[in-house]
Structure 1
Amino acid sequence: MVIVRKEVIRQSSELGNVAQISVPWLVMLGLVLPSAGHAVEFNESFLRKGDGPVALHYFEKGNAVLPGSYDVDVYLNQSLTRRHTVQFNPDAEGLVRPAIPLGLLRAIGVDVAKLAKEGRIPAGTDDNAAVDLSALADGAAVDFEANTLSLFLSIPQAYVLRTARGYVDPSLWDDGVPALYTDYQATYSRNDGNGQHSDYYYLGLRSGFNIGGWRFRNESSLSGSSETGSRFSSNRTYVERNFASLRGKASAGELYTPGDIFESVRFLGGQIGTDLAMLPDGEMGFAPTVRGIAESNAVVEVRQNGYVIYSTAVPPGAFEINDIYPSGSNGDLEIRITEADGRVRRFTQPYSYLPVMVRHGSLRYALAGGQYRGEGSSRPKFLQGTMVYGVSEDWTAYGGIQASQDYAAANLGVGVNTRIGGVSLDVTHSRSRTPNGTRQGQSVRFLYSKTVNPTNTTFTMVGYRYSTDGYRTFSQHVDETDRPDGQGFRRQKSRVDVNISQPLSSGSLYLGVGDTSYWSGDGRSRRVQLGYSSSYKDISYSLSVSHTRDSGLAARPETQFSVSLSIPLGKVGRTHRAYANAVSSVRGDYNLQSGVTGYLNDANTVNYGVQAGYSRDGGGSGGVSLGWDTPTAKLSGNASQNRFGSHVDASASGSVVLHGGGVTLGQPLGETFAVVEVPKVAGVSMSNSPSVRTDRSGYAVVPYLQPYRVNWLNVDPSSTGVETEITENSKMVVPTRGAVVKTRFEAETGRRVQFELSLDQAGKVPFGAHAYDAKGRPLGMVDNQSRLLVFGIQDKGSIDVRWGDEQCTIGYALKPQNKALMYERQVASCVRGAMVTTVK
C-alpha cells in the first residue's frame, strides 16, 4: 500500500468543489497518480467487494486536476512572482494542460520584446493569447504541482528581464481606494494618596483622507494633567502624493526637512524628494530603540522637537520601546519617565542616520522650501536642497545648501565602504547674521557602521561631531535671533554616539554611549546604557545598568541597576510565567517586584498580570493588570496599591476607517493598511493577523502593510463555519505608501450534504462521475462508495450526474438544516436519463 498525503485542492469559483474529494479517495485506494503525459489504466480489483463501477478517464491520462480555472502561485525560475487565475484545458489526447497567456509572461518579467524580435512570438500577438512555452526557446518548460497549486515556469535567463532583488513592477502598485480614517492612542493614569490625587491623560491622533494617489494627513494630540490643565496640539497637517516616474513623493503643508545631511527642521511649505521604499532593497529608514528603567508603574512619554509623539504605561523594571515613528529623520528624542509618586525623570535619546552610503549609480535628492516653524516667534523663509549619488561601488558623494535671508550653509561630504566598515565624513560651513553680529564656522561630522563577522559584533551607529564656536545650525540661528542674550538654548561643541550589540553565549550584550559638550560653559550631557539578556532552556533573564547626567539642567547624576528573571509555569507550551525583577540606584533607592503573567485564552488575545513588590519609599505594594486585543482595539489596564496611595492607568489604541462599504473599527493601522471584505460573513480571521476578524458587515482592517512590496493577505479557513466556504483564501496586494487597499474574498454560504446514491434503485453510480447543478455549475465527484459530497445547494432541486456519455438525475428535498453537523446525509436515487455530450 502506497500512502500519499491527503490534500484539498483550492479552486476558483468557476469550479466550486469539483476536485475537493477526488485525490483523497484515490489515496484511500492506495493509488498514486502518474505524471502528466503518461496514460494508465486503473485496476478495478483494488476496489472492495460491492463497490460500484469506475469512471476516471481524465485521471487515466495522468492528470492531477480536471479542466477548468484555478488560482495558482506562479513561479518564474523558482521565484514566486504572483497568484494568477490560469485556465487548464484538455488537448486532443485528453491531457489537461495550463494555458499560459502572453500577458502573464510579460507581467512576471519575461522579455517579450526580445522574443518577438527573434521571431519566437508572432508580431501582434494578443496578450490574452495562450503561448506554447516549449516553442519559445530551448529549455523553456512548464510544470504544475497540484498539491500546492503551484505553476513553475522555466525560461532561459537570456529571455528574462534583469531586475534588482526585491524589485516589484510599478504596474502592480495600487494607490488604493478613497477612505477617511483616524488612528488613535489614548492613555489615562491616576495617582491617589495623602488626600490628594493627580491625573494624566493623553490622546494621540493620526488621521488621514485618501483619494486617488493623494494623501491628506494630520497628526495631533491632546494631553494634560490635573496640575497643568489640557493642551491640544496639532503637530502637523500636510498633503502628499507619490510619483513613480520620479521615484519619489511631493508634499505640502507642515513638514520636516530630511535630516541625513542637515539638521531636520519643521516648516510650512513644500518639498519633493526620493522615497527609498520605491527602490529595490532600498533602505526603509531608521527608527531608534528607546531603553530605560522604571522604578514603579510609570508613564513613558517620548517628545521630538517639543511635540509628544509617543506615550505608554510601563511596569517597574527595564523597558524597551521599538515602535516609535519620529516625525523627522533627525532630531534628538526627549524621554520623560513619570513615576507613580509623581517624580519625573528625563534623558535624551540621540537619533540620526547611519553613514551616508548608496549603491553605485543611485541618486537621492530632496528640495524643500517654505517658512520655518519652531518654538520661537521668528518665521524666516528658507530654501534647502540636498543630493546623494553613488559614484562607484564603494564611494558616495553628497552635499547640499541651506539659504535664508540672514543665514547660509553649505555641506560637502563623502562616504566610503571599507574593509573596516562603512564610513562617511562631511563638513558644513555656516554664516549667520543676528543682532549679536555675524558668525561663521564649521562643523565636522564622522559616521561609522560595521558588523564584525568573526565575532558578530554590530556597531549600529558610531558618530562624532565637532563644531567651532562660530558655527550655527539653522534652528540655532533662529533661536539666537529671537533671544540675543542666549538664554534658553545651548550650542553644541562636540558629540559622540556609540551603540554596540554583541551576541554572547546564548544571549545578547548591548552598550549605548552618548556624550555631548556645549560652548559657553553650558556643561555636558552624558548617557551610558549597558545590558545583557539571555535564556537557559525556557528560563530567561536580563541585567542592565543605566547612567545619565546633564549638568546643563542642574540635575544630579543618576545610576540605576536592574535585574530580571522569568520562569515558565506548567507544561511546555503554556503561556503562564512567573517573574521577578529588582531596580536600585546608587542613591539608595530600590524596588523589588515579582508576579505572574500569561494569557487566558488559546488565541493569546487576553493577557493578565498579578504582581507584588517592595520599595524603600513606598513599602509593600501589589497590583493587577489586564490586556485584551480585540478585533476593533487594543485595551489594557493596571491597578496598584502601596502604603502611600493607589495608582490606576488604562489605555486604548485602535482605528476608525470610513470606506465605500461603511465604517469599520480596527486595531492600530500603521502607515499603510488594507480593508478586507468577506461579503456578509462575520468572524473570519486573517492568518497573518489572528486577532483581526471581520465584523457583521464582513469587513476587517489589516494593518502594517509594506509599501511597494508584495503583501499576502491570507484568510484562516478554520475561522469560517461549516456553512461557509471561501473560494480563494489568499490575495496579493502591492500598496503605494499611505494607501488603503481593498480586497475581496468571495465566499459561498449554503448547506453541505452527502448523498448516498443508488442508480435506478439498485445499482451504483460509477466512481469518478461528476455532478452539476441545474445551472451547470460543477458540484463534486462521486466516490467509490457511490457517495456524493456537495456544498451550497438549495433546500430543494435537482442534480445531474454524468460519466462518459451517460447521465442520471437526482431529485431531492432536504429536511430543515441541522447546523451542529459538519455535513448532512441524504439517501437519494439517481434516475438514468438520455445520452448527453460530456461538458469539458
Structure 2
Amino acid sequence: MVMSTLAPGRTLKPHKLAVLLSLALLGLPLCAVADEIEFNTDILDVHDKTNIDLSRFSRAGYIMPGIYVMSLRVNNKDEIPDQNIEWLAPESDPKSSIPCLTPRLVDMLGLKDEVRSDLRWLHDGRCLDPDSLSGIGVRGDLGSSTLYLNIPQSDLVYRAPNWDPPSQWDEGIPGVLFDYYVDAQTRHEQRGGDSQSLNGNGTAGINVGPWRLRADWQASVRRGQGSREKRWDWNRYYAWRALPALGAKLTLGESALYSDIFDSFRFSGISLQSDDRMLPPNLRGYAPEITGVAKTNAKVIISQQGRVIQETQVAAGPFRIQDLNDMVSGTLDVRVEEQNGTVQQFTVNTASVPYLTRPGQIRYKLASGRPSDAQHHTDGPMFATGEFSWGVNNGWSLYGGGVGSAEYDALALGVGRDLLMFGAVSFDMTSSRASLPYESDGRRGNSWRLSYSKRFDSTGSQVTFAGYRFSQQNFMSMGEYLDARRYGEREGSSKELYTITFNQQLADWGADVYLNYSHQTYWDRPTNNRYTLTMSRYFDIGHIRNISLSATAYRSRYYQMDDKGVYLSVSLPWGGTGSLSYNATINQGGNTHQLSYYDRAGDHDYYQISSGLSHGDSMASGYWTHEGDRVTTNLNASYQSGSYSALSLSLQGGATATAKGAALHRSGSQGGTRMLLDTGDVPDIPVKGFGSSVLTNRFGKAVVSDVNSYYRSRMSIDLDALPDNAEASRTVVQDTLTEGAIGYRKFDVVSGARAMATIRLPEGGTPPFGAGVENGQGQNTGVVGDEGNVYLSGIHPGDTMRVTWGVDGRCMITLPDSLPTDLTHGLLLPCTPVSSAALKKDVRNKLQAQVKE
C-alpha cells in the first residue's frame, strides 16, 4: 500500500544527504589500504550506522565494470563526446577496472599512422593494450562522465581549435529532408496596375550512409496587368559524398564546374575535387561575398547558370552578403528587386586568393560528362577536365589544368609565390581552341591572369583579392563556346577584367574603409563597371557612446544602364537594445531622407520602422523578423504617397525526419548540414547552436541547422530558459559533421515533479544510506539518505524506479497512479526486492541498450 505521508514524528531533511556525503568525502578521517578508502562512519548523523553502503566511494577512481556513456578528453583539451565505453575488471586485480579502448575509439584519437601500426590488442582484438602506447595516462571520472587520456603530442596528428582530424568526423544518420524559402508579395500602384507574385525555391534530399542525394526546386506564380505566369522546375538532381582519406568530394549528376582556373558551366556527369573545408579553418580558402545598396526594402536573388543559390530580404541601404558557400566560384548573377518596382542587376566575379598550396601537398579537381541546361538536356560534346596545385616548397606552388573535348580544348599553367611580409601572388596563362559549326576555321586565343593577396597587420590593411585578366579576342572559355554553339553567335567576349577587395582599419580614428571594385571590358559590347566604397567610424559625444557614422558611394554600369549615388547614415544607441538612425540617399532619381528606429524584442524578434521623404513625397517602411522554432518569418512593407504601396512576406524553414525522430525547424544552408537533438521525449527544452535557441517539439526533438561542415560544433541546453519541472545532467554536446550530414545527439534530461519520499523494504527496513535511485531510462533520480529518506526528481504517476546498492542489492518502487496535489508532505513508497535472475536480465538489457544507442 502506498501512503502520501511520512510516519508521524519523522522530520524531513532534503539536503541532509549532500552535507553528509561532502563531509564523508572531504573532511572525515580515512586510511588508504591497497588503494581503497575506508570511511569513518562513526561521526555520521545516521540512525542505523550498520545500514550504510558507500562502496561506490571506497576506492579512488574506481568505476564498476559495465558500459557507460562518457566523453573522451585528450590532453585535457580535445573532446570526443558521448561514446559507449566498457569498463573491465582485469584478472590481475579484480578490485580495479580499466576502460576498453576499441579500435573504433582509438581511430578517433588522431594517432599518427606509424604509431597506430605498432599498437597491440587484448580480448581477441577488442581492447587496446595500454602498454603498447608509450606514455599514455588513463583516468575515469563518473561525476563528469569523462574519460581523461594523456597522450604524447608527438604521437598525434595536427589539430587546431574547433577542428578535429578526419578520424573523428561523423557521417550522421540516415534520413530525409525538405528545405524551402517562400516569398509572397503584393504591390499596388496608385495610378493603377496592381501585381502579385509568389516565389519559392529549396532542396529535397535523402541521406544514406555517407551519400547525400539532393534535388533542387524553383517555383513562381506571377499575376498583374492582365497576365498570369506559373512555373515549377526540379532544376537539378545530384548526389555526393565525402572522401576523407583523399580530402575530396565526389559528386554525381547535374552540377556546375567549380574551378580555380577555368570559368564555370553546367554539366551532367561526375566530379572529384579537393575540398578546402576539410582543412583546418586557418588553411581554408576564400568565400565570395556580395555587396550593394538597396534603395528600398528589397529582395536580393543570387543565381548561377539559371539556378538560384540564395534569396534574402534586406533593408534599405548598403548590404553585404558574406555567408555564401566557399565552394561557389565563377560568375554570379545578382538581381535586386526593390519594393518600389525597380530592379538592379549586375554580375560578380568570385575571385579566389592566389592559388597556393601547402608544401608537399597536391590539390586537385577532376570532372567528366556532357554540358547540360536547366531543362536537364545535354547539349555539347563529351569532355574531361582536370586541374592541380602542387606545393613545391615553402615559397612556390605550381598549378595548371586542362579541358578536353572533340570541339573545344583549353590548357592552363601557372605559378604562385608566397612573398611572406609582402603577401602572395600568382600568375597563369590559358590557351584555348574552339571549333564552331558555322565557322570553317577554329579559333585560338590566350588569356593571362595576375592575382595578389595580402594582410598588412602593422597598418590594419587587408587586400583580400586583387586581380587582372586580359584575354585575346579569339580566346573562348568553355561557357562562351557553349553559348556560341547553342545560339549561333558569340556575345560578351571578355577583354580586360580588374577586380579588387580592400579593407583598411584606422584604429586611431576608430574608422574603417571598405572597397569592392570590378571593371570589365569586352571586345564586342560596352564596358561594365561597378564599385562600392564604404567609410565608417564609431565615436562618442558626451554621455552618448558608440555613435556610428558611415558613407557609401556606389556606381554601376550594366548593359549601358548607369546607377550611381551616395548613401549617408548616422546611428546612435537608443534605449537598452535599440538604435535611432538618420539615413540619406542621393542618386540620379532624386534624394531620400528618412528617420529609422531598430530594436530587438527578446532573442527571436527584431524590427525596424522608417519614415521620411523620397523625391519630395512622404514615405514609410518597416520590416519585422521572427526566428521561430519551426520557421523564420520576415514581413516587409513600404509606402510612398502618390506612387505605390507594397507588402511582402517570406518564410524560410525545413523538415528533417530520421529513425531517431523528426522535427520542423529553421533552415540554414538549403540541403546542408544539421543536427537532430533529442531530450528523451521531454518537450519544450530550449536547445541552441550558434544562433538563438529553439524548443524541442512534443516528442522531445529539435533540429539545429546553423552547423558548419568539418567544424567542431557545440550544442547546448539554454539553462536560463529551462522549465521548472526539468533537470539536465549533461547540457553540452558536440560533433564534427561531414557536409550535408544529419547528426544526432541526445541530452540526459529528467522531467517531472520533485518530492521527498521514504522507501521501505517489506520486512520494515530501509535501503542502506547511499543507495542510488534511477528511473526506467537509467537516469539518476535520487540518493537514499538516513532512514530511507530520499529527495526524488523526475516523478510521473505510475512510474517504476530501481533502488540499487552493493553488488547485487536491488528493489523496485512504484509511484501511485494519482499523485497528491501537495507533495511537500512526502510519499511512503514500498520497495519490492528483485530476484537474482531478474537482476541479471535487467543489467544485461541495460548494457545491450547502451551499446545499441
- Does the pair score TM above 0.5? yes
Distance, in Å, in 2 between the alignment partners of 1:143 and 1:282 is: 32
What SS does the aligned partner of 2:358 have? coil
1:530 aligns with 2:534: yes
Alpha-carbon spacing, 1:107–1:372, altered in 2? closer, same or farther (3 Å):
closer
Distance, in Å, in 1 between the alignment partners of 2:442 and 2:775 is: 89
User: What aligned pairs does 1:237-316 form with structure 2 within 5 A after superposition?
Assistant: 237-279=237-279, 284-316=284-316
The one-letter code sitting in structure 2 at the alignment partner of 1:472 is M
Alpha-carbon spacing, 1:153–1:719, altered in 2? closer, same or farther (3 Å):
same
Q: 1:354 matched to which residue of 2?
A: 353
Q: Is the contact between residue 266 and residue 372 of structure 1 (CA under 8 Å) also seen in structure 2? A: yes
Distance, in Å, in 2 between the alignment partners of 1:107 and 1:30 is: 35
Distance, in Å, in 2 between the alignment partners of 1:181 and 1:474 is: 34
1:509 aligns with 2:513: yes
Alpha-carbon spacing, 1:175–1:613, altered in 2? closer, same or farther (3 Å):
same
Deviation at 1:209? 2.3
Deviation at 1:452? 1.1
Distance, in Å, in 2 between the alignment partners of 1:687 and 1:699 is: 12
Distance, in Å, in 2 between the alignment partners of 1:188 and 1:773 is: 50
The one-letter code sitting in structure 2 at the alignment partner of 1:141 is G
Alpha-carbon spacing, 1:94–1:766, altered in 2? closer, same or farther (3 Å):
farther
Alpha-carbon spacing, 1:787–1:539, altered in 2? closer, same or farther (3 Å):
farther
Q: Is the contact between residue 804 and residue 810 of structure 2 (CA under 8 Å) also seen in structure 1? A: yes
Structure 1 residues 311-352: Cα deviation after superposition (integer angstroms, max 9, x where no partner): 3332222222223348x7333233333333212223333312
1:460 aligns with 2:460: no
Q: Is the contact between residue 530 and residue 545 of structure 1 (CA under 8 Å) also seen in structure 2? A: yes
| Aligned partner (choices 203, 206, 210) of residue 206 of structure 1 | 203
TM-score by length of 1: 0.82
Which blocks of at least 5 consecutive residues in structure 1 are unaligned?
1-18
Deviation at 1:82? 0.9
Deviation at 1:283? 5.4
Deviation at 1:287? 3.0
Distance, in Å, in 2 between the alignment partners of 1:769 and 1:225 is: 70
Q: 1:652 matched to which residue of 2?
A: 651
Q: Is the contact between residue 55 and residue 803 of structure 1 (CA under 8 Å) also seen in structure 2? A: no
User: What aligned pairs does 1:142-541 form with structure 2 within 5 A after superposition?
Assistant: 142-144=138-140, 148-157=144-153, 160-163=155-158, 165=160, 168=164, 170=166, 172-192=168-188, 193-223=190-220, 225-227=222-224, 229-279=229-279, 284-325=284-325, 329-373=328-372, 379-419=380-420, 420-434=422-436, 435=438, 437-482=441-486, 486=490, 489-505=491-507, 506-520=510-524, 522-532=526-536, 534=538, 539-541=546-548
Higher alpha-carbon deviation: 385-394 or 757-766:
757-766
What SS does the aligned partner of 1:226 have? strand
Structure 1 residues 122-175: Cα deviation after superposition (integer angstroms, max 9, x where no partner): 6655454475x5x567754334566644433223346x2434547746555444
Q: 1:569 matched to which residue of 2?
A: 575
Structure 1 residues 9-30: Cα deviation after superposition (integer angstroms, max 9, x where no partner): xxxxxxxxxx999666645899
Distance, in Å, in 2 between the alignment partners of 1:490 and 1:800 is: 77
The one-letter code sitting in structure 1 at the alignment partner of 2:157 is R
RMSD: 4.5
| Aligned partner (choices 634, 637, 640) of residue 636 of structure 1 | 634
Q: 1:674 matched to which residue of 2?
A: 675
The one-letter code sitting in structure 1 at the alignment partner of 2:632 is K
User: What aligned pairs does 1:705-744 form with structure 2 within 5 A after superposition?
Assistant: 705-716=707-718, 721=723, 729-744=731-746
Which blocks of at least 5 consecutive residues in structure 2 are unaligned?
1-13, 844-853
Distance, in Å, in 2 between the alignment partners of 1:458 and 1:665 is: 41
1:611 aligns with 2:639: no
The one-letter code sitting in structure 2 at the alignment partner of 1:646 is S
Deviation at 1:444? 0.8
Deviation at 1:771? 5.4
Alpha-carbon spacing, 1:255–1:412, altered in 2? closer, same or farther (3 Å):
same
Q: 1:753 matched to which residue of 2?
A: 755
Structure 1 residues 553-597: Cα deviation after superposition (integer angstroms, max 9, x where no partner): 222351222314141314xxxx3x132131322536222232333
Distance, in Å, in 2 between the alignment partners of 1:269 and 1:803 is: 64
Q: 1:683 matched to which residue of 2?
A: 684
Q: 2:5 matched to which residue of 1?
A: none
Q: Is the contact between residue 247 and residue 274 of structure 1 (CA under 8 Å) also seen in structure 2? A: yes
Distance, in Å, in 1 between the alignment partners of 2:728 and 2:258 is: 46
Structure 1 residues 32-54: Cα deviation after superposition (integer angstroms, max 9, x where no partner): 69999585755866x78999899
1:559 aligns with 2:565: yes
The one-letter code sitting in structure 2 at the alignment partner of 1:294 is A
The one-letter code sitting in structure 2 at the alignment partner of 1:387 is F
Alpha-carbon spacing, 1:248–1:569, altered in 2? closer, same or farther (3 Å):
same
The one-letter code sitting in structure 2 at the alignment partner of 1:554 is Q
What SS does the aligned partner of 1:388 have? strand
What SS does the aligned partner of 2:553 have? strand
TM-score by length of 2: 0.81
Distance, in Å, in 2 between the alignment partners of 1:204 and 1:230 is: 14
Structure 1 residues 428-484: Cα deviation after superposition (integer angstroms, max 9, x where no partner): 011233345433221111111111121232111111111122322122233344556
Q: Is the contact between residue 449 and residue 469 of structure 2 (CA under 8 Å) also seen in structure 1? A: yes
Alpha-carbon spacing, 1:368–1:35, altered in 2? closer, same or farther (3 Å):
farther
Distance, in Å, in 1 between the alignment partners of 2:410 and 2:315 is: 46
Higher alpha-carbon deviation: 780-789 or 337-346:
780-789
Alpha-carbon spacing, 1:223–1:782, altered in 2? closer, same or farther (3 Å):
same
Deviation at 1:756? 5.3
Distance, in Å, in 2 between the alignment partners of 1:359 and 1:112 is: 20
Q: Is the contact between residue 74 and residue 153 of structure 1 (CA under 8 Å) also seen in structure 2? A: yes
What SS does the aligned partner of 2:562 have? coil
Distance, in Å, in 2 between the alignment partners of 1:334 and 1:156 is: 51
Q: Is the contact between residue 582 and residue 592 of structure 1 (CA under 8 Å) also seen in structure 2? A: yes
Alpha-carbon spacing, 1:815–1:262, altered in 2? closer, same or farther (3 Å):
closer
Q: 1:548 matched to which residue of 2?
A: 555
Deviation at 1:425? 0.8
Distance, in Å, in 2 between the alignment partners of 1:308 and 1:807 is: 65
What SS does the aligned partner of 2:350 have? coil
What SS does the aligned partner of 1:447 have? strand
Q: 2:792 matched to which residue of 1?
A: 790
Q: Is the contact between residue 802 and residue 813 of structure 2 (CA under 8 Å) also seen in structure 1? A: no
Q: 1:4 matched to which residue of 2?
A: none
Q: 1:6 matched to which residue of 2?
A: none
Q: Is the contact between residue 264 and residue 329 of structure 1 (CA under 8 Å) also seen in structure 2? A: no
Distance, in Å, in 2 between the alignment partners of 1:350 and 1:776 is: 57
Alpha-carbon spacing, 1:116–1:123, altered in 2? closer, same or farther (3 Å):
farther
Deviation at 1:225? 3.8
What SS does the aligned partner of 2:435 have? strand
Distance, in Å, in 2 between the alignment partners of 1:332 and 1:411 is: 19
Distance, in Å, in 2 between the alignment partners of 1:359 and 1:271 is: 23
Deviation at 1:498? 1.0
Deviation at 1:415? 1.2
The one-letter code sitting in structure 1 at the alignment partner of 2:185 is S
Q: Is the contact between residue 317 and residue 567 of structure 2 (CA under 8 Å) also seen in structure 1? A: no
Deviation at 1:389? 1.8
Q: Is the contact between residue 187 and residue 311 of structure 1 (CA under 8 Å) also seen in structure 2? A: no
Deviation at 1:272? 2.4
Alpha-carbon spacing, 1:312–1:812, altered in 2? closer, same or farther (3 Å):
closer
What SS does the aligned partner of 2:329 have? coil
The one-letter code sitting in structure 1 at the alignment partner of 2:591 is Y
Alpha-carbon spacing, 1:522–1:106, altered in 2? closer, same or farther (3 Å):
closer
The one-letter code sitting in structure 1 at the alignment partner of 2:101 is P
